Amino acid sequence: MPARWPVFDPVQDAVLSVTPDIESAFADYFRDPDAVGDSPLAFQIEHNSTLVEALRSVFQGPGGLVRLRVWMLLTLVQQGSAFLSREALDQLFYAVRPEAVDSVVKRLREAALLSWDETQRHYGLTALAQQVATMLAPLTQQSEDELSGLLGQVVGADRLGTLDGAQVQMLQAQLGRLHHEFADAIASGSEFRLREARKRYDRASRLIDKASDTITAIIGNARGQLRMEQAARGLGQAQSRLLAMASQFNRALQQVDRQRVTLGTTGITSTDVKLWLQTQAGLESLMNDAIAQPVSLGLVSPHDMLDVTEAEFERDRPKAQLAEALPTAQAAPVGDLTAVALPQELGALSDLLAQWGVLAGPEAGAQATDAAPVHWRDISEALLHPLDAEDHARYAQVAYKTQLMPLLGDAQAQDLPGPTGQLARQPWRVQWQTELQALDHPAVSHLSAGLLRSIHAPDTPESAAPTGDAAPNTPV
């Protein structure tokens, strides 16, 4: 009678008798055998049953023998030749005992991974062997490069047009696991876990940056396929969550740096002490000598300790402030209200315009019967007029008086007291022109052309009519 062993069903809590000698179909383990066809994943596994059986043949038996089969299979695939003679096979595995080589070669032939050509007298790798080697390729990579393997599969499948939702979901799950590991390292607060996790995070970020174009293309081209669209959307969210952890690592490492303590002037930090303690085999042995000689107070009497304690209390106790009388009454100092002196050019310009206004006013005809009143003045006469008769106007003086010209006729400035209001009340209005006037002056070479019009002018003479208004330009 064949041997049987119990298999416990967690749902029904029943015992099923499974006979190892009888091969059961995949659908026999389902309550409804039609459910195999309804599940796309189960259908693909059933469709690739030959590949599953080949893997089962390779991985059946003791662990050491399984590793030998995997190593020999991957070595055959990687040696670059599709056909090998028996002599080349023995030379390739010269370090392995002959009976072990024969056993593995026989198992690979039974699993249809190796074929034997009796006519040519050589072994050949089958297409099934290439598929099995592709599935076992992650075994040749380091354990920390699981993300690179998944990214390589996704990028390669996307370039070849064979990408499906399952591969994208596997990559999404790996990004989620990395995010969980990095979050645990940040929450731990351990400096060493943080720095080790930061190295892994930097490697993962570089890999994601290199594959970012492909991931973006997958997310953009997933429309129309429900499973691919859901997987692409989840992959984008996992990618953004993982890349957003850079700021969290920076804050955590900055917090660790603030907590680091330097021991005196030795330059040794608390991190160095932790690293040294990690190299010690028995930490409890470090306290043996310290516990053997307890600390004791010697040559200190109670009176001395009391005096020192009282002195410390008196030194730290704040002194009470003494009462102070209010200050006596004092006479207020004599104040002098002085205004800021305005430049002399403002008063000189106002006086000059007032003098011209007398000659252009209504009473000018009665005072001078031989000359008509002057209602128009060239603006350069006012701007270049010097303070002293024997000197020329400087550039700064001309520029300052140019800035004062808009005050003429200003309604708000006319109500001001002092020289500013006096200038605004002068009976002249400025009219700037768009041309530049060349001057024969030692400080100013060109000046914007303009006219000063008296408010008493009856009309505008043809010879003095302005050509247009323009904003005053700074003299050159």
- The distance of Cα 414 from the centroid of its chain, to the nearest Å, equals 59
- State the CATH class of domain 5-139: mainly alpha
CB environment 218-238: b (16+ within 10 A), e (fewer): bbeebeeeeebeebbebbbeb
What pLDDT score does 292 carry? 64
pLDDT higher for 373 or 86? 86
Q: What is the pLDDT confidence band of residue 414, given thresholds at 50, 70 and 90?
A: confident
Tell me, what's the pLDDT at 21?
42
Reported as a single tens digit per residue, the pLDDT across 415-438 is 888 888 888 998 899 999 989 989
Distances (CA, A) of 408 to 252, 296, 411, 416, 421: 67, 96, 9, 13, 9
Reply yes or no on whether the pLDDT at 366 is more than 70: no
pLDDT at residue 55, rounded to an integer? 86
Pick 463 or 98 by higher pLDDT: 98
pLDDT confidence of residue 296: 66
Higher pLDDT, 312 or 183: 183
Instruction: Spell out the domain ranges in the chain.
Output: 5-139, 142-255, 344-464
Residue 99: band (very low, low, confident or very high) from pLDDT cuts 50, 70, 90: very high
pLDDT of residue 464: 45
- With cut-offs at 50, 70 and 90, classify the pLDDT of residue 362: low
Show the tokens assigned to 240. 């953004």
Higher pLDDT, 121 or 3: 121
Percent of the chain clearing pLDDT 90 (strictly above): 1
Lowest mean pLDDT among 279-288, 319-328, 405-414, 446-455: 279-288
